[in-house]
Amino acid sequence: MRIFALAMAINKVHIDEFLELAKTMPVVDVRSPGEYHHAHIPGAFSLPLFSNEERKVVGTAYKQESREKAIKIGLDYFGKKMVTVVEEAEAILKQSKNDSRHIGVHCWRGGMRSAAIAWLLDLYGFKVYLLVGGYKVYRHWVLEQYEKNYVLHVVGGYTGGNKTGIIHELKKLGEPVIDLEGLAKHMGSAFGNLDLIEQPSQEFFENLLATELAALSGEDGKTAIWLEGESQRIGMVNLPFSFYKNMRREAIFFMDIPFEKRLEHIIKIYGKFDKDKFISAIIRIKKKLGGLETKNAVNALLEDDIQGCFRILLHYYDKLYLKSTSTAKEEEGKVTYVISETTDAKLNTQLVLNHVRNGNY
């Protein structure tokens, strides 16, 4: 009877309450390591009921034999690791510095995997909150965030204007900021991943962005969020189409900075990278850059004429930018030109903020 009473103490909560509770308690994702690695709720810890191979075996038994057979196999796996699961949960609480012993649990659909872990942790004495509908419901929540209309302040301009620096400065000043390139782990353009940092999956990128939007937009959704102007594709991930359309509708603060100043900044950022990697990146844009300009850029790099190489590439990206972002914005009458003679992020941040404070946009 005591065990039954403990099991009844598990709190089943819906997605909005679950995400609110997740701000003050750790959340464990009990799906397989492969599912977790592909995408998960940002901040959730992996506490898998089954390994990737075990999940495969249970799934095969369910499809080819019966539900009962699959459950028996699963219970056999689970029984051998109960102590380990409890100890890992304790370690997670310690890591998250949570003294309340409250913990959130979810699997894919809120089924047997999360129910089993929730029962065990509840039995051991944790205060368990089980997500109704599991990760599948969370993904519906994520996609719903992109159907909302956000107030956005977009920092745009030609390549090399240190727009990312402005975004970072705005964040330091306490402004609501989303660093899209930071979330995507890519600096944009064909040269944005020369350091070979692994990008998140498309699904996890969407999860990260939705979390930021929900946290920053305010209860009424009217808080203006700053972000850098991007094309829809950032490396291997894409901005959700509805959100990208939202960006295109909003005011853009176009950093109007001289070509030579931008060239200096680009060389500081990219000049450190290995030549072979850079040449490979140039080759990837050969079709758009043109055969002659590709040859000239590569030859300049091979001859250690870094400035000559980057001059060719910067001209190319200026033309590309004109075709995409700024032209469309100008037609809508939403471009505010911020004229500066430097790429200094602190100075340019103040120039942008002055436009906002004075209502000049």
Q: Is-catalytic flag, 309?
A: no
66-91 exposure pattern, b = at least 16 Cβ within 10 A, e = fewer: eeeebbebbeeebeebeeebbebbee
Structure tokens at 92: 């997670």
Of the candidates 28, 105, 107, 117, the residue annotated as catalytic is: 107
C-alpha 60, offset from chain centre: 33
Active site residues: 107
